[in-house]
């Protein structure tokens, strides 16, 4: 019993974001809202003047009521379809975008049906059941048309409920982002600690401002018994490389990294192009691997890279490169 509140708080975002919950919430708001608008429209006389003659007023009111009822029944069918979409875990938001179009169809059906019913009534009157008055048809038709502004209001208000679908998903999305962020930082901290505890100088200089991407690279090199020194700016990379040239075997960098303390926003490609004066490609003691999601923006720096990998990259591509360049030894094959 003590875990019930905690369990509720934990599960509530998932329940709120569930397609079925969102569908029923939409249905409730739309059905109740449309009903209130229609009832209000039947009691307003501001938009259309009711005929003064008693019989014409009755036909006018009858046209209003019939149109409102038929429209509402059709509207309920639209909402029922909304529930089916939600139950089947479809896109509620996408369906709601179609509702204004469905409303127009419902309005045409309701007005047309009202006109047909009024015509049938007058036809029976003409056949001897009552006294026919063809102008009554127009009174009924005017009553039907008087509901159109209310229907237009329903059509205009309906898309406003679309953000409700997104808002109901926000708690789950926010919690997911927080959990992912915390887990990512924990993973990075663990990798950073592991590499610092390796009892040898760093032989990989990693320049990457995305900690999740840095964690992946550090995990890769830990598994091949390499030690990484991670920095997030070109300024830090330049300073570290100038002191540890003899021990660095590999530079792994992204193209777009964090801005340095001095405000310099040098990219990885620009830095590689600058390094060629101090470390010509055919004479430098280290290899360069670029791992970036924007390799097309490396510029002249791409000519200084020994390997270019585009995110998301495949570890086997880097592993095979290191084996080919004799940076790591290929494991001996085992007998099957």
Give the tens place of pLDDT for each residue, 139-159.
Answer: 777 777 778 788 888 777 766
pLDDT given for residue 103 in this prediction: 74
Coil, strand or helix at 253: strand
Instruction: From 148, 151, 144, select the one nearest 59 (Cα to Cα).
Output: 144
Angle at 143 between CA 138 and CA 149, to 5 degrees: 130
Q: In angstroms, how far is CA 158 from the centroid of its own chain? A: 21
Tell me the angle at which helices 19-42 and 4-17 cross, rounded to the nearest 10 degrees.
Answer: 70
Q: In angstroms, how far is CA 198 from the centroid of its own chain? A: 42
At 100-125, the pLDDT tens digits run 677 777 778 777 877 787 777 666 66
How far apart are alpha carbons 121 and 138 in whole angstroms? 13
At 149-193, the pLDDT tens digits run 888 887 777 666 655 655 556 566 556 555 565 666 778 888 889
Q: In angstroms, how far is CA 146 from the centroid of its own chain? A: 40
pLDDT given for residue 260 in this prediction: 75
How far apart are alpha carbons 233 and 210 in whole angstroms? 11
pLDDT given for residue 334 in this prediction: 44
Q: Which of 63-72, 254-263, 323-332 has the lowest mean pLDDT?
A: 323-332
| Fold (CATH) for 192-324 | Rossmann fold (3.40.50)
Instruction: From 140, 153, 151, select the one nearest 74 (Cα to Cα).
Output: 151
Q: At a CB cut-off of 8 Å and minimum separation 6, what does 247 contact?
A: 201, 202, 203
At 192-248, the pLDDT tens digits run 898 988 889 999 999 998 888 999 999 999 999 999 999 999 999 999 999 999 999
What's the order of all strands across the beta sheet hosting 250-253? Answer: 228-231, 204-207, 250-253, 287-292, 307-310
DSSP result, 109-177: HHHHHHHHHHHHHHHHIIIIIS---THHHHHHHHHHHTTHHHHHHHHHHGGGGHHHHHHTTHHHHHHHH
Per-chain mean pLDDT for the chain: 78
Average pLDDT of the residues in 37-47: 72
pLDDT band at 336 (very low <50, low <70, confident <90, very high): very low
For residues 67 and 289, the model is more confident at 289
pTM given for the model: 0.49
Instruction: From 180, 245, 168, select the one nearest 211 (Cα to Cα).
Output: 180
pLDDT given for residue 314 in this prediction: 93
b/e 37-52 (16+ beta carbons within 10 angstroms → b): bbeebbeeeeebeebe
| Domain boundaries along the sequence of the chain | 4-168, 192-324
């Amino acid at each position: 019993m003590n875990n019930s509140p905690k369990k509720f708080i934990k599960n509530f975002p998932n329940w709120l974001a569930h397609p079925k919950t969102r569908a029923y919430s939409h249905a409730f708001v739309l059905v109740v809202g449309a009903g209130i608008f229609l009832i209000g429209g039947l009691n307003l006389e501001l938009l259309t003047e009711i005929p003064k003659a008693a019989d014409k007023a009755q036909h006018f009111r009858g046209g209003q009521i019939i149109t409102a009822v038929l429209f509402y029944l059709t509207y309920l069918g639209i909402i029922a379809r909304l529930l089916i979409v939600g139950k089947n875990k479809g896109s509620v938001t996408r369906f709601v975008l179609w509702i204004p179009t469905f409303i127009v169809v419902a309005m045409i059906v309701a007005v047309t049906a009202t006109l047909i019913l009024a015509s049938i009534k007058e036809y029976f009157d003409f056949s001897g059941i009552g006294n026919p008055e063809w102008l009554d048809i127009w009174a009924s038709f005017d009553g039907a048309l008087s509901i159109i502004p209310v229907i237009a209001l329903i059509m205009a208000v309906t898309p406003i409920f679309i953000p409700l679908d997104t808002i109901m998903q926000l708690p789950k999305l926010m919690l997911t982002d927080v959990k992912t962020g915390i887990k990512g930082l924990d993973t990075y901290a663990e990798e950073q600690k592991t590499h610092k505890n390796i009892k040898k100088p760093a032989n990989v200089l990693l320049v990457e401002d995305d900690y999740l991407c840095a964690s992946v690279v550090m995990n890769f090199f830990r598994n091949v018994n390499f030690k990484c020194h991670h920095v997030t700016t070109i300024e830090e990379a330049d300073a570290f490389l100038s002191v540890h040239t003899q021990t660095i075997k590999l530079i792994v960098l992204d193209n777009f990294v964090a801005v340095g303390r001095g405000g310099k926003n040098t990219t990885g490609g620009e830095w590689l192009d600058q390094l060629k004066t101090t470390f010509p490609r055919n004479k430098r003691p280290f290899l360069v691997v670029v791992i970036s999601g924007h390799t097309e923006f490396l510029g002249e720096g791409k000519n200084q890279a020994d390997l270019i990998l585009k995110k998301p990259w495949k570890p086997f591509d880097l592993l095979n490169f290191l084996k080919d360049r004799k940076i790591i030894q290929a494991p001996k094959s085992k007998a099957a």
